[in-house]
Amino acid sequence: MSLVASSPTQTVRDLVALTKPRITLMVILTTGGGIWLAPESMSWSAIVLTLLATAMVVGSANTLNCWVERESDGRMARTKNRPLPAGRLDARLALALGLALGALSVPILTLVANPLTGLLAAIALVTYVMIYTPMKQKSPAALIVGAVPGALPPLMGWTAATGELAAPGIVLFGILFLWQMPHFLAISIFRRQEYERAGIKVLPSTRGTPAAKRHAVIWAGALVPVSLLLVPLGIAGGLYLAVAGALGAGFFVWSLAGLRAEAGNRWARQLFLASLVYLPLLFAALAVDVAAS
């Protein structure tokens, strides 16, 4: 692929774009949530360095993912204008950035937080880049594998503060893990043709849209009780219980609506948007509940 001449400013913008800043911001927020909910406290300097290093891990994973998938990205409408498939950035520069961020972030987390948090970061990075990314071309089960690194940030925040795995941190992991399933299944339904052109195996393509809808219902249903576990664990109280119950029930009911034969791409887009509303409202309710207690 021939490179398109870019200004230094554009090159910097493209390097930042490889790290997927919006995803990175969400990871910082969920990691910070895990730190805040933990019973032990950290110094402000340790919190800042932990969040920065976590952002670097995510940036590394996203950059290396873009490097590996630069050809398939060029075959999808929503990704063809990314820096690498569009030819605005040298692939070697992207690879160097991804490797550098990964090489720096894991040791920083190990030293600033603790070895357990560093280990979780390494697991997230390796799983996302070396297992999930190539698996997408072979099996729709890649979605389950990819949900693991996506769900680790709040658990990493918890372990950074406490130094140990504990039930509340694992429940936070479970909420993020389960939420991702209907979220990405919805995307795979209304972007099915794009994924097929890129050679990515998604459930609607391999087993049909009805199967993908059923899986979305199962995962959305499992999300409800898991999200409520923070109450008996003593992390959240009545406000969170009410909001989490209402949000979970609404999300589950909307996933059930997809079982109708006439529910198609419009429903899938609405479920995707509902997932984007569900998660921030859930964590906002959790934050308000904990702050008020």
Let me know whether 155 and 29 are in one domain.
yes
Residue where a domain stops, chosen among 165, 184, 214: 165
Let me know whether 45 and 110 are in one domain.
yes
CATH code (residue 37): 1.10.357.140
Please give the pLDDT value at position 45: 94
Please give the pLDDT value at position 81: 85
Please give the pLDDT value at position 199: 87
Let me know whether 232 and 271 are in one domain.
yes
Q: Which domain holds residue 48?
A: 1-165
pTM over 0.85: yes
Residue where a domain stops, chosen among 165, 189, 215: 165
**C-alpha atoms less than 13 angstroms from C-alpha of 181 in its C-beta half-sphere:** 23
Question: What is the tally of structural domains in the chain?
Answer: 2
CB 125 within 8 A of CB 60: yes
Instruction: Note the pLDDT tens digit of each residue in 233-290.
Output: 999 999 999 999 999 999 999 999 999 988 889 999 999 999 999 999 999 999 899 8
Please give the pLDDT value at position 4: 62
Please give the pLDDT value at position 6: 67
How far apart are alpha carbons 120 and 137 in whole angstroms? 25
CATH code (residue 293): 1.20.120
The low-confidence residues of the chain, meaning pLDDT below 50, are none
How far apart are alpha carbons 2 and 88 in whole angstroms? 9
Please give the pLDDT value at position 209: 94
